[in-house]
Structure 1
Amino acid sequence: MFIEARFGRRLSPLQQADVLAALSLDGENAAAFMTSFAAEFGVDLTGYEPRFHHRDEQRLLRPGWPFPAPHLFGLRLPIAVSTLANAAQTGRWPVTYPVLSVAASRQWLNAPLILFGLPVLAALVIAVLRWI
């Protein structure tokens, strides 16, 4: 009923298995949904890890834009209606997350590839076109 009151529609049984995906919520919208859920049902979200459930908002200057960033560790844990119900009944977030370490970023490779790789590629294309 919480979802129906907020979004004006009922989720099918299949959609109830993954609420955020069914409602197309990512980033700030997903965070706002979870905050309003916690406020309405008195749930302590101390253990909630948003990076396992949804992406951050797309930013124009993010590498890879306009394609969405991959989920953390290539893993996305769905939030089911049953998980939300359990949280509402117990008053705390019921999910236990795996302990994973974040790999070092290799975004620094983008600058040399763009600054040196593209001109070299362009020169090769021009050379091949002149040769043909």
Structure 2
Amino acid sequence: MDPEEQPYEQPVYTIPLDEVLAFVRMQTKRPDAGADSDLFADLHCTGKSFNKLVEAFGREFNVDVTGYKWYFHTDEDDHSIGTMLFKPPNERVQRMPITPEKLWVMANEGHWNINYPEHELPSSRADIFINILIFIAGALLLAYIAKRW
């Protein structure tokens, strides 16, 4: 048989979808989570909670999540004055939904299998720099007021 004519073999999935669904339901505290539920939009798993879920997922199912890029899937928890002037990473790319079904495939493949599009992020975060400057200015102002009082 010609190698090009060989039938495509379906991968063998040893981890059942129900296990991944149970994990997602426990992590998000959403018993209504379905296989096609968007963790961010449907289950409201965002920011640090989303990142903790991914880390726990990697440990629970022995998945290499080093390729995970948070800014494609969720937002930052913290509100920032600097983001009024400079976009944070998650606003510089198009969001890519993650579902329990996608996690199930990754659990069986053993790695974070998302192919991210070419993108370029600034080497530094101007929005965070603005926040630091505002914090320092506020602290100096408070120190000055406290000294004068």
TM beyond 0.5: yes
* CA distance, structure 2, for counterparts of residue 55 and residue 87 of structure 1: 22
Structure 2 CA distance for aligned equivalents of residues 106 and 60 of structure 1: 11
1:87 matched to 2:103: no
The answer to whether structure 1 residue 53 and structure 2 residue 73 are counterparts is yes
Counterpart in the other structure of 2:32: 10
Instruction: Say what the alpha-carbon RMSD is for the aligned residues.
Output: 3.0
Call closer, same or farther: CA 1:70–1:50 in 2, change over 3 Å.
closer
Q: 2:44 aligns with which of 24, 49, 55?
A: 24
Provide, for residues 43-88 of structure 1, a one-character-per-residue CA deviation record: whole Å limited to 9, x for no partner. Answer: 1001111111111122344433xxx968332410000222100111
Match of 1:99 among 118, 124, 130: 118
Q: 1:25 to 1:50 in 2, by over 3 A?
A: same
Structure 1 residue runs without a partner (length 5+):
111-132
Determine the C-alpha separation between the residues in 2 that align with 1:63 and 1:34: 25
1:116 alignment counterpart = none
| TM-score, normalization by structure 1 | 0.64
Q: Say how many residue pairs are matched.
A: 104
Unaligned runs of 5+ in 2: 1-21, 131-149
Moved over 4 A (4+): 103-107
CA distance in 2, matches of 1:10, 1:85: 17
Query: Could you tell me how far apart the structure 2 residues matched to 1:87 and 1:70 are?
Result: 24
Percent identity between matched residues is 24
Partners in 1 of 2:70 and 2:89 — Cα distance? Answer: 14
User: Is contact 1:20-1:26 (8 Å) kept?
Assistant: yes
C-alpha distance in 1 between matches for 2:80 and 2:118 = 31
**Shift of residue 106, structure 1, vs aligned partner:** 8.2
TM-score by length of 2: 0.57
Task: Name the amino acid aligned to 1:11.
Answer: A
Q: Distance in 2 between matches of 1:21 and 1:12?
A: 13
